[in-house]
Amino acid sequence: MAIRAKITPSVLRWALSRADLSEDGLASKLGTKAERIRTWLDGDAQPTFNQAQRLAKAAYIPFGFLFLPEPPEEELPLPDLRTVRNKAIRESSPELQDVIKQVLRKQAWYVDYLRDHDHSELEFVGSCSINDEVNTVVEKIKNNLGVSRPSSGNWQDYHRDLVQAAERIGIMVMRAGIVGSNTHRKLSVKEFRGFAIADKLAPVVFINSSDAPAARLFTLVHELAHIWLGESGISSASTGEGKKEEVFCNEVAGEFLVPKNELMNYWDEREGWQTNVSLLVARFHVSKLVLARRALEAGLVEHDEYRNFYATEMQAFKDSDSSGGSFYRNAGARNSRQFSVAVVTEALRGGILLRDAGALLNIPPNKIKQYAGELQL
């Protein structure tokens, strides 16, 4: 006779809600019927230990959580700056929890690596204040990065230049739309667009690649602003109201990419807003989405118009036929180049095991040497 696991029904409800799993969804994962799941939720029956273990895996929680007397209080490991209608978001998915923990683990390893190599703290981290003028912060960031608005090229070129400049001065820029290398665990742009770790030795900017590519340039600069403020946090980078840090970083990102005075000077009131946006992308070297957002902030576009425009762009992104790109290029974006170089170099010289290097980089250990070739080490 199978031994039953005396799980707590309220914890099971919490686990399903947290993982956005329906009764039917869990039943499908466990190879049973939804009616059986409901008996567990009602406390009328209990799963076997094998079913409980598979249940915990499906819901991305530790097995022991199922036996707690009540759902645990989970705290995000970074300050939560996200809001919806100016109210804090209390629920966080296991994907958000896990991707932050993974990035923090990488960042902790890199901090130790830098200390072992006697690296100095970065003076620009925390060099600005929310009480500073927006333009003052914008100029400091531009001067530290050493990158000005390009005279040619498109927003993709500008985005690449900014990422490379940030990495060059010591900021790890990580970009991913999934947890680790698990394509079944996608990150939701509705939940967050990015986060920043404002460490003076090894700062990190993480960008949610589930967002439309054209919107990521704004998120990048928004998160860079957090680094200069010296404030870590998870961002939605949404328009409208929000916590004062988020509003300020939005203002910095907007002024950095599309200065309001220039936008107003070049805006042709005789033309529709979408025509203006299309004509100005080449001047500012940003995407239509960024220009539309900036026009919204300048009062040139109605909020409903922008929201519909963003929804259309997101749908086009979702409908696009993408192969997912090169495995090694994705690994480089996911881990940041400077972090990748440090880990791979240590692995090749025997400083850490290939197994541990693979775990840090979320790639198979037997691909480390080939990855080193891609990094041109």
At position 263, the amino acid (one-letter code) is L
Query: Model confidence over 200-211: pLDDT tens digits?
Result: 999 999 999 998
Task: State pTM to two decimals.
Answer: 0.88
Given the DSSP bridges, would you call strands 178-179 and 172-176 parallel, antiparallel or unpaired?
unpaired
Contact 107, 202 (CB under 8 A): yes
Quote the pLDDT of residue 238: 65
Quote the pLDDT of residue 237: 59
SS3 321: coil
Residues 6+ apart with CB under 8 A from 9: 40, 41, 42, 43
Contact 219, 211 (CB under 8 A): yes
| Whether residue 321 has pLDDT greater than 60 | no
Contact 220, 163 (CB under 8 A): yes
Quote the pLDDT of residue 324: 58
Contact 155, 212 (CB under 8 A): no
User: Can you tell me the distance from the alpha carbon of 215 to that of 277, in angstroms, rounded to the nearest whole number?
Assistant: 14
H helical segments located in the chain: 9-18, 23-30, 34-42, 49-59, 94-116, 134-145, 155-168, 216-229, 244-257, 260-266, 273-284, 288-297, 303-319, 327-335, 337-348, 354-361, 368-374
Quote the pLDDT of residue 325: 61
Cα 62 to Cα 51, 54, 74, 168, 338, distances in angstroms: 14, 11, 13, 39, 33
User: Can you tell me the distance from the alpha carbon of 113 to that of 173, in angstroms, rounded to the nearest whole number?
Assistant: 17
Query: Model confidence over 55-64: pLDDT tens digits?
Result: 999 999 999 9
